[in-house]
A and B are shown apart, each in its own frame.
Chain A
Amino acid sequence: MARTLPQIEHLLRRAGFGGSETELSDYGEMGYAAAVEALINFDPAASNAIDDFIRTPGYIGVTATRAFEPQTNITDTRQRWLFRMVHTPSPLQEKMALFWHNHFATGYNKIAGVVGPADGARLMDSRASRDPLGMNGQIELFRTMGLGKFTDLLTEVSKHASMAIWLDGRQNTRNSPQENFGREIIELFTMGVANYVETDVYAAARVFTGWNYTRTLPAGSAIANYTFQFNANQHEPAAKTFSFPIYSNGSKTIPARAQTQGLQDGIDLIVALAHHPETARRLARKLWTFFVSEVREPDAAFVESIAQVYLANDTDMKPVMRAVFNSPQFASAGSHFERYAWPVEFVVRSIKEIGFLGFSVSDTLTPLVNMGQTLYEPPDVSGWDTGTWWFSTGGMLARMNFAAQLVTNQKFNLRDLARPYRSSPESLITGFALSRLTIPMPDPDVYNALLTYVRAGGNWTGSETQLTNKAGGTVHLLAGSADYQFV
C-alpha cells in the first residue's frame, strides 16, 4: 500500500477514520479541494445502504450468539456503529456524529433504566428507515443534522426523549423546576462556563418547564414510540430574565406568556444561545481541538474566522466545516499528527490499515472499555476527557494489547502481504510495515529497536516461520508505539 498522499491521508484521518487503499486512491484522484466537497456533500442514501453489507463477505465481521439486533440491543448497536466507521462511504458523516456525541454526551444506561434496554438502544441510535416504528435515535439526529444548522440540531436534541431522560427535563415542573438540563444547555451545549451566572440557570430551568415526551405503545408491540410533548399545565408562565440578550433588540427578558404559548420560551432561549458569539467561539475552539490540533492552542485567527462563518451562515455547519478543512491552519503540514487519537479513532484506523478480513468488531468492545471509551456511554454530560487524558498507563497498555490482538488475528494475511519484502530485515520494516501504516518515519532509536527485534532469534533467512512471526510482530510494535497514537 503506497503512502504517497500526505494531505489526503491527513484529511481522511481527521474528516474520517483513516483511508483504506481504495479510499486513498479515490480521494487522491479527485484532488484536495474536490475531496473536501465530496466529504461534505455526502450521499445519505449511499451511507444508509452500508448496513446491507453487515455480515457479508469482504467486510469486517460482527458477532452475536443470537440474532444480530442492532436496533434494539446496545452491544449490537455498538458493533453497527463501528462497522459503519470502518466501511461507510461517508466518513465525515460518522465523524461529525462522533463529535456531536461527545458534545451532547448522553449515556445509554440511564435511559435504559427508564425505558428498558430495547427502547434505550433505539433512543440512542435507531435509524428511522430501519426502525419498525420509524423513530430516529439521538446519534441518527447527528448523522442527519450534524452538518445542518446548529440551531436546528440543538432544538431537536433538546426535544428528543433521550435528552429529556438523560438530563431529567421530563421531571422539570412548574412547582419544582429542575436545573439539570437548564444548566448544561448553557454550560456545555452552548456558551460555556464563565459566560453566565447562577440565576441564568434558574431562569433556564423555568423556561423549559413542561418540555416532555409521550410514550405510545402500539398494540402487540414490545417497543414504543417516543414523541416530544409540551405539557402546558406544567409550564411556568412568568417572565424570565437572563444576564445576556435573548432577542435581537437586546432584550434580556423572555416575556410572561400564557401557559399554552409557553413552548416558545424554550425556542427563544435556544435560538439566543445558538446565536450567541461565545457559542460561536466555543464551537470554533472545539472544532480546532477535534479537527486541527490538540498540541497547539486554538489559533485566534482561526477561531474568529470560523465563528464568523458560523454566525454569518445562520449557524449552518456545512460552510463551517468547509472553512475548517480549507483553512491554512488545517492544511499546514505542521498540524499533521497533532491530535491524540481517541480510542475509537485508533481502533478503526488500525483495522483499516492492518486488516479486517476474519476479524469481528465485537473484539474491539472490551479493548475500547479498557482504553477509556465506550460508545453511547460517555463518563458524564461533559463528554470524554480527551487529549493527553486518554493516555493513562492502563489506557496505553490497552492500546498496545489491542494492536497485539488484531495482529494475532491478521498474522497470516500480514505474512502473505510481506512476502515481497522478505529479502532483509530492513526491507521488511521499511518496505512492508512502514508503508502499511500511515505513520511518520520513526526516529533512529525506534528504527534500531525494530531492527534488533526482527534480527532477534537467529540469522535472518526470510523463512516462512520468520516472516510469520516478524511481519505481524513489527506491525504490532509500530501500532503500539507512541507515534501511532496520533492522527
Chain B
Amino acid sequence: MKTTRRDFIRGGVSAFTVTFAAPAFISDLARAQGANRRNLVILYLSGGNDALSTLIPYQDSFYYSRRPTLAVPAGSVLQVGADASGKALGLHPRLTGLKQIFDAGHLAIIQRSGYSNSSRSHFLGTDIWSTANTTNTTGSGWLGRYLDQLPNPAPPLAGWSAVGTVPHSLIGNYVTAPAIPNPAGYAFLSPNTGTEATYSRNAMTSIASHLPAERPQVAFVAGTAQSAMSTLDQVAAVASYAGTVTYANNGLAQALKAVAGAMVQGIGTKVFWVQTGGFDTHSNQGTNAANGTYANNMATVGDSLLAFHNDMKNRGLLNDTCVLVFSEFGRRITENGSGGTDHGAAGVMMAMGGLVNGGLYGTAASLNPDPQNPTLENNGGDVTFETDFRSVYARVIDNWLGVDSTGLLYGNFRKSSLSFI
C-alpha cells in the first residue's frame, strides 16, 4: 500500500508547491481563525477495534457461546439501555469514563458501521476509511479535502496530527497538516547561543522558504521545514497549557491535553488527529483480566476522553468540539485459539461533544452463526455493516463543519436517521 500512498503524494506535490509559493497571507489567516471556533477531533483506534467488546450485546446467548473466554459477563457491563431493535447493550466495564459522558447525554454510539465487502487488511482498510472511497484508495484523505476548501491558503495549523506522521486522512491535494506528537519538543535548536542562534533561526527560515518549482520533491520537504519554522511560537504556547483537570501520563491523554491547549489558545486548528493503538488483538486479548490488553485499552480511551470532556466543559469550550471515534474494522465474532480475535468487518463509531445528541444509533447484530443471518456475513463469521461509515462522515461534514458533504465524499451518503449532531 505504501507505493500507492506515495503515488498519490507525488501527484499532490506540484499543487502543494504552488500553494506554498503564494504570497503572504496574514489577513486570510486571521479571518479563518476568527470565523468559527468549531473543530473536529478524530480519535482513531488503530489495529481493528473489537467492537463487540466495546459495546456488548450482553443478552445475546451466541455472544457467550462463541466467546467462551473473551465474553464479558452480563453482570459486569455498564448498561446503556436498549437500541431501536430492543437489544440490550452495555459498555465495557473499564469504560467508566465514557459511561459518565453517555449519561451526560454527550456521547452518541453508532453501531455496525462499515461498508460492503469490508477489507480485512489493516492497510487497505485504513486507506478506505482515510479516502472515504472503497474502490480507489490512492487519492487524498477526506479531512485533507476539507482542509483544502478552507479560505485559501489555510492557516499552517488548520490541521494538527498528534502522532509522528500525518495520517492519510489528513493529506489534501493542496494542504498538508503538521505532525506535532510532542508540543514540548517542538523547538528550534542552534549550535550557537544568543544573537548567533537568532541568525541561525532566521537563516533556516529563509532557506526553508526556497521552494524550487523544478524539483517538487525538494519543495515538498522545504515546505515542511517552512511550516515547522512558522508554527514554532504558536506550538510553544500550546505546550505550556495547564489543564483544569489532570490528564494521565499516556500518549492519548497527553495528545488530548494538547488539543485542549490548542483550543484554549485559539490557534485556529479545525481538525485534530489523535490515535491510540494496541487493538490488533489476535492473541491474549484480555477483555476481562484486570491488566488485560483490551481492558487497559478501554480504560485509556474512556478515562482520557472523560478528562478532555471535563476540561473543555470547565473552559466553556465543550460546544466547540466534536470527537469522532472509529477503527479500520471490527473483529471476528468467534474467538480464536489464542485467546484473541482475527480480523472482521463492521465496527462501532462514536461521537462526543457538547452539541452531540447522545444515545444509541443503529441496531446490533444477532450473533447467531446461521449463514442466513442477515446481520452477519462471511458464513456467519463477521458482523455485517448497517450504516455506511461515510454516512457518519457526511453528518459531521454537513451538520458540524458546515460544508457540503456530497463534494467532499464524492457522492450523497446522507442518512437522516443519523441525527447525532
Contacts and interface: CB of A to CB of B under 8 A. Distances in A.
Given A385-B165, A401-B189, A452 B120 contact: no
Highest count of chain A CB atoms <10 Å: which of B120, B165, B192, B203:
B203
Interface string B210-251: 101000011111101101100100000000000000000000
16 contacts: A178-B342, A180-B282, A289-B6, A370-B164, A386-B2, A388-B6, A388-B217, A389-B2, A392-B166, A407-B191, A449-B206, A456-B199, A456-B203, A482-B221, A482-B225, A485-B221
B164 A388 contact: no
B28 interface: no
B123 interface: yes
A408 B47 CA distance: 41
A391 B178 contact: no
A175 B337 contact: yes
B135 to A, nearest CB: 12
A393 B178 contact: yes
A394 B343 contact: no
A295 B217 CA distance: 7
Contacts of B6: 289, 294, 386-389
Given A385-B165, A482-B218, A486-B218, A408 B178 contact: no
Contacts of B122: 380, 382
Nearest to A180: B282
Contacts of A457: 195-196, 199
Nearest to A485: B221
B179 A393 contact: yes
A397 B231 CA distance: 11
Given A372-B165, A469-B196, A340 B217 contact: yes
Interface in A359-391: 370, 372, 380, 382-383, 385-391
Interface stretch (A26-34, A70-78, A473-481): A473-481
B203 A404 contact: no
B282 A395 contact: no
Given A453-B200, A477-B200, A392 B178 contact: yes
Contacts of A389: 2, 5-6, 9, 165-166
B404 interface: no
Interface string B1-22: 1110111011001000000000
A283 B185 CA distance: 38
Interface in B370-401: 378
Contacts of B189: 400-401, 404-405, 408
Interface in A146-169: 167-168
A483 B218 contact: yes
A478 to B, nearest CB: 9
Nearest to A471: B191
Interface in A424-460: 443, 445-446, 449-450, 452-453, 456-457
A104 to B, nearest CB: 15
Q: Indicate the member of A187, A392, A404, A408 with the most B CB atoms within 10 Å.
A: A392
B64 interface: no
A178 B282 contact: yes
Contacts of A386: 2, 6
B121 interface: yes
Contact of A198 (B5, B120, B202, B220): B120
Kindly state the interface size class of chain B when it binds its partner: 35 or more
B310 interface: no
Given A193-B124, A382-B123, A396-B228, A476 B337 contact: no
B337 A171 contact: yes
A366 to B, nearest CB: 9
A370 to B, nearest CB: 6
Given A394-B228, A396-B225, A179 B342 contact: yes
A380 B3 CA distance: 16
A411 interface: yes
Q: Which of B164, B222, B378 has the most CB of A within 10 A?
A: B164
B124 A179 contact: no
Nearest to A466: B196
Interface of B: 1-3, 5-7, 9-10, 13, 47, 120-124, 161, 164-166, 178-182, 185-192, 195-196, 199-200, 202-204, 206-208, 210, 212, 217-222, 224-225, 227-228, 231, 280, 282-283, 335-340, 342-343, 378
A469 B200 CA distance: 10
A192 to B, nearest CB: 9
A395 B218 contact: no
Contacts of B161: 392
A16 interface: no
A175 B164 CA distance: 40
A404 B190 contact: yes
Contacts of A387: 2, 5-6, 9
Contact of B186 (A394, A449, A473): A394
A177 to B, nearest CB: 8
Contacts of A452: 203, 206
A201 interface: yes
A453 B199 contact: yes
A439 B236 CA distance: 32
A457 B198 CA distance: 10
Nearest to B232: A397
Contacts of B182: 370, 394
Contacts of A178: 282-283, 336-338, 340, 342
Nearest to A404: B189
Nearest to B335: A176
Contacts of B338: 168, 171-172, 176, 178
Given A407-B191, A477-B203, A486-B218, A183 B283 contact: no
Given A392-B165, A445-B210, A477-B207, A401 B188 contact: yes
Contacts of A396: 221, 224-225, 228
Nearest to B9: A388
Contact of A395 (B164, B342, B343): B164
B196 A392 contact: no
A388 B181 CA distance: 17
A101 interface: no
B199 A289 contact: no
B224 A392 contact: yes
A187 B224 CA distance: 32
B225 A400 contact: yes
A395 B179 contact: yes
Given A297-B7, A404-B200, 12 more contacts: A168-B282, A178-B338, A187-B121, A383-B2, A387-B9, A392-B161, A392-B179, A396-B221, A396-B228, A401-B189, A449-B210, A477-B200
A338 interface: yes
Contacts of A167: 282
Given A178-B282, A382-B122, A482-B221, A453 B195 contact: no
